[in-house]
Amino acid sequence: MATSTSRGRALDTAAIRADFPIFETGVAYLDSSNTSQRPRQVIEAMEEYYFKFNSNIHRAAYSFAEQATEHYEGAREKVKRFINARSLKEVVYTSGTTESINLVARSWGEQNIGAGDLIVLTLLEHHSNIVPWQLLAARQGARVEYVDIDENGELRQDQFRALLEQNPKLVAFTQVSNAMGTITPAKAMTAAAKAAGATVLVDGAQGAPHLGVDVRDLGCDFYAFGGHKMCGPTGIGILYGRRELLEAMPPFKSGGDMIRTVAVEGTTFNDLPWKFEAGTQPIAEVIGLGAAVDYVAGIGLEAIHEHEVDLTGYAYEALSELPGIRIFGPPPARRSGVMSFDVEGIHPHDLATIADRHQVALRAGHHCAMPLMTRLDVAATARASFYFYTEKQEIDRLVEAVRDAQRIFA
């Protein structure tokens, strides 16, 4: 297990990296906002389930099935503590952030959004926090407005406040931009939106892994995040919802396990959170998520953020020294571990291809944030993204790869 750290002490990345078998390949992995790497502890927790007590949950009487159920529900307890939810009933397993938001858009949205209602989003959003709301608005005859960004890539709070004056029914925004790393003032925005009478969903896909969250302190109604960006497996995510809201919402998916009784005349539904967990669940993935929560919490969210700010500052300076570089987003202290940039005369995809020759994994594209790319007036950017296991030598390798690309395209 990696050493846990307290505030102000540098992370021991060498010890941490020994937990991640993939680093033995020599890759400089700078794509953690896309998906993080997984430590041995997560892989072994899933393996233990498959090797030692593989069985379905909530339904068999034999003892190792009970073990599976205990691990499955035990992971929920870990997540509850990680996000500081009031009750286990507020922690719903989904397949990822995308499904969490879709669940709210369908179940809460169709009950609560009507013709002419306003939904407020922002230009920082990932497509998964845009498209479900656009589709909901189309179904219900509602309208969607977007908060713009300023020249630093931060949300225009003046515009946000002006939109709140129109009494939106729903405000949905990201805690951290996946495309630029911008940290939004989520607590203040939530408080303002709640004061205006809106229901608030925060997209925590990039927030939970890098900043952590205390949903009670944040004050939002819904908070969505996934396992695979925080050292957990793919295919598992969380929807946190305030209990009163989840109680009042109809089921999203239906079938086995989400029911209490089924008769030919009709069905009554299970208690929370199982009302929203239909069918056989991704049990190994849930167990892996529990191990990931332990791992990330063991490193410490404050230490993770400090490490990322340090890396981002380092990358900001090193890249800024190169000619023809445009860096998107706020100064390092106000962002998470994401550097989105453009190199004059080199398409981001070409840059990523050359970086690959240096064994540097770099993302190029629109980062599922096309409205933001349009606003920045670019088709794509190159993006390097960091996590607690990232080292400065990997950023040096990125800078060398950019230099190489500039020599090739000179």
The verdict on 128 binding ligand PLP (CB under 6 A) reads: yes
AA identity, residue 148: D
* Contact code string over 157-176 relative to ligand PLP, x by CB under 6 A: -----------------x--
Instruction: Choose the binding region for ligand PLP from 81-89, 92-100, 342-350, 387-395 (rule: CB under 6 A).
Output: 92-100
* Contact code string over 195-214 relative to ligand PLP, x by CB under 6 A: --------x-xx--------
- Residue 203 Cβ, how far from ligand PLP at the closest point, in Å? 5
| Alpha-carbon dihedral 333, 337, 338, 344, rounded to 10 degrees | 70
Q: Is-cis flag, bond preceding 168, omega within 30?
A: no
User: Residue from 37, 69, 98, 199 that binds ligand PLP (CB under 6 A)?
Assistant: 98
User: Residue from 109, 209, 226, 332 that binds ligand PLP (CB under 6 A)?
Assistant: 226
The verdict on 340 binding ligand PLP (CB under 6 A) reads: no
Going by C-alpha positions, the residue among 385, 296, 308, 395 that lies closest to residue 16 is: 296
User: Residue from 96, 209, 330, 332 that binds ligand PLP (CB under 6 A)?
Assistant: 96
* Contact code string over 241-280 relative to ligand PLP, x by CB under 6 A: ----------------------------------------
Structural tokens at position 19: 């937990």
Closest residue by beta carbon to ligand PLP: 226
- Residue 406 Cβ, how far from ligand PLP at the closest point, in Å? 29
CA–CA–CA angle 148, 151, 156 (5° rounding): 35
Please identify, using beta-carbon distances, which residue of 117 and 285 lies nearer to ligand PLP: 285
Distance, in Å, from the CA atom of 388 to the CA atom of 14, rounded to the nearest integer, reads 11
The verdict on 178 binding ligand PLP (CB under 6 A) reads: yes
Please identify, using beta-carbon distances, which residue of 226 and 241 lies nearer to ligand PLP: 226
Owner of token pair 């303002």: 192
Instruction: Choose the binding region for ligand PLP from 123-131, 156-164, 319-327, 394-402 (rule: CB under 6 A).
Output: 123-131
Please identify, using beta-carbon distances, which residue of 237 and 332 lies nearer to ligand PLP: 237
Q: Is 222 in contact with 107 (CB distance < 8 Å)? A: no
Distance, in Å, from the CA atom of 386 to the CA atom of 336, rounded to the nearest integer, reads 8
The verdict on 336 binding ligand PLP (CB under 6 A) reads: no
Q: Is 24 in contact with 397 (CB distance < 8 Å)? A: no
Q: Considering 2, 137, 284, 368, which one is annotated as catalytic?
A: 368
Instruction: Choose the binding region for ligand PLP from 15-23, 122-130, 186-194, 242-250 (rule: CB under 6 A).
Output: 122-130
- The string of DSSP codes covering 247-286 is HHSPPSS-STTSEEEEETTEEEEPPTTGGG--SS--HHHH
Give me the long-range contacts of 71-79 (CB less than 8 A, separation at least 24).
71/283, 71/286, 71/287, 71/290, 72/281, 72/283, 72/286, 72/287, 74/290, 75/286, 75/287, 75/289, 75/290, 75/293, 76/273, 76/286, 78/290, 78/293, 78/294, 79/238, 79/289, 79/290, 79/293
Please identify, using beta-carbon distances, which residue of 107 and 178 lies nearer to ligand PLP: 178
**Residue 231 bears catalytic tag:** no
Active site residues: 368
Give the footprint of ligand PLP on this chain (CB under 6 A): 96-98, 126, 128-129, 174, 178, 203, 205-206, 226, 237, 368
